[in-house]
Structure 1
Amino acid sequence: MNAAPTSLYRSPFVSTFLSHSSADSALVEAVAEQLGRRGVLAWLDKNELLEMGTLDTVLKQAVQQQATLTLFLSEASLKSEWCKDEIRWAIEAETGIDHLLPVYLGTPLTLVKGHPLLRSRFLHPDGDKVNKLGYTCRQDANEPDPDAIADKIAATVYRRSIPEPWSEVVIVLDQRGEGPRRSFPTLPSNMASLNAPVLTFRPSLGHRQRQEVLTGPDWHNMVTTMTRSLSLALGTVRGENRKVRVLGNAQAGLVWAVGRHFNRTTSADLYSYGRDDVAITNKNQDRHSPVSGGDPNKAKLIPAEAKGLATNQPTVALGVGLQERYATAVQQAVPDLPLFWLECGFIEDSEQAMQLVADMVASVERLRREYGTRELVLFWITANHVALLAAANLTTHVIPKIKFMEWDHAEGQYVHLTMPGD
């Protein structure tokens, strides 16, 4: 775990500190999980801080290093000495109150009047209304909505953490591995020195697993929330080229979804990183037409002796990876579809990665041209970080529809992962 920075340090991580009473912990933890799916690193005092040192010192540092502090204001929080300290430290951290976002778990006017510091800053001079807007949980609602609260917090954090216009951003997909998803994810030193805003996407607050695969409704929520959040945080990526660096450890589907979002028609120069932290990139590729230079015959029909492939094949399957190792399981997943295979081994650099992408695009264009193929059932079984560049180039200009398949280790079978826009 990274050490807590000093109070003079402003973290590049898009983040917020969630000040709350223990009585509101269940709601706040649900909000924190939803913030993780929005790329926002949410600090919970009880989870992240106890291991870093003396609580009052580290808590003050954590509050002051964030771009925003979210105040969950309730009757219980107004009675909490820790919450009172957090509010005081937050107010001392920066001039004004723009960095504070209140979540009112009750009547705003009553809550603000109940705290001297809030009263002096949030209360209108007339004394009859609150002049600090935030999120108010409706009194007639059964339960506060963690999704709606997370949306409001994320919008505020994006605005304060990401410059406009931005030229460079880092996206961390923190899904797989070991240990709890706490604190800052570790960045390579050369990446940390960029001081570019960092969006950290986490599916939950729980422990990482080496082979975790989100499927079904959980997958749908994660991928739609993530891609919507990328739009809200970064806007439309057009005009001047901008660098998008993607790293971390996640299932291939999440990497593919990010690549689709920043496809070749945008002005994003994508940089992805494998286990050796060496970048591969699509920088300088043509944005106005599909990538060229690929071999249209690179994808081979298997088994090689297959005969009688109909002229009209609206749906075909394509495997990308080591045929000898993976083809049997893929064939079992789609026994009724013709299966083409694009052999791929270890990718060492950007040139090799983009050649694979070019071969893939050329092969798919041939399938569409010769067989009328309009749907590709895709099995990506090679390096995940290369999937970023492939997804950016396999647009609807190349093939109208893609069904992305991923191996579910828990179930021992391939599953279809729907993508936004499918």
Structure 2
Amino acid sequence: MLIDLFEFMTFAFPKAGAQLGVPITIAMFFFLFALLKCQYQVIPVFSKIKGLSTAYIVFAGCVVISLIFNLGDLSSFQVTAAMVVLASPLAVGIGYSADLQRALKILAVSLIIAGGYALIQRVAGIVTTAIPGLTYTFGQDLAAKPIGYGMAAVGEAQKMPSTYQNGNGAGLFYAMGIPILLSWVPLSVNWKLVKYLALFFGFFGLFLSGSRSIMFPFVLLFIFLLILVKNKLSYQKQILFLSAVFFIAALGTLYLMYANNQFLEGAYARYIQQTASDPTGAGRTSQFALAFAQVNQLNELGFLRFLLIGLPWNQLDTLEGLLSTLFCYGLFGFIGFLLVFISALYHSFKMNLLASLGLVCIFLAFMVDGSFNFPPSLMNFFFLTGLLAQPAYQQAVGKSEAISSSIGIRLNLRRTNG
């Protein structure tokens, strides 16, 4: 029950809570309780995923040492970010302990809630529909969040943050959940309907999130997603699937050619115009240019410190993406963090290629976006990594694929005999 509550809150209402100096959310408490319940599963699943335990020990050691060396100049954000990146990978043990079918059902319901609420925000307004303490952290100013140029209090927002307070965080959740649900074979008709509804709201929510850091890698991998979905189907269903894809593509093309509405104009402005007009990637390239210039000015001792534990935290400006860990935790911390992701992705890739595509998208997004410093994106990543590591997940998918293949073989034999 604790695991189910943790999953639901961290997927559907991750920001429900209050600002008490720092944001305190309900999902944090459920994470701690669920982790205590699953504490004996963490080490076994870390050992099961090849390379994860070694990479995590290296990374965690570097983070702790960097914290100690910067004790005199710590901001609340830096402490919180360090705690998030340290604790979030432990969620792999919670995911590994979760009941598989219940976890997938909760994921589907959460996608409906998040995507459906994003649609409501787009229609009725972000601030207007906000529920303090539930859809965003009580005590924070929602209009001050990065939800689009002009923000909600001044102009029309271009990012629908849903219950994540930030379009990037919401987009990461949709991108993780969609491929996993595509690989899921529900055991009842009712849950099949829920699955398709969740996929609809997931795709729609992803589009509304306005997150370029996740939308672009998702679009790049979308063709592989379609191929893998097609391969799971029987021969007849493959024909129907391809027909549906071509029909939807043609319908969408016609709509884009002849429709003229603000919704499409806003999406075009967000994903195309702003990207083309801003070669700095929302200031990211400028951030790293300044950081590397700072490194070039270091003396020998300062450069050695940079390699081992990073730059002094009171000298760091805002940095985005995985490369920021190089400046915060040093070279070994950066390499350790990369290997944590790579080992998790490799194992998920072996367990289920289709489901792992969402995690690949998240890794690519983290290359340029710093959402891993804020809950629950990194926590969700490792919870789902643990879920995919379950033998039951591989067996369930294997059975469904075997059934589809056998149906296709029987159909081909009938045609041959006929």
Q: TM-score scaled by structure 2?
A: 0.30
Greater helix proportion? 2
Greater strand proportion? 1
- Rg larger for: 1
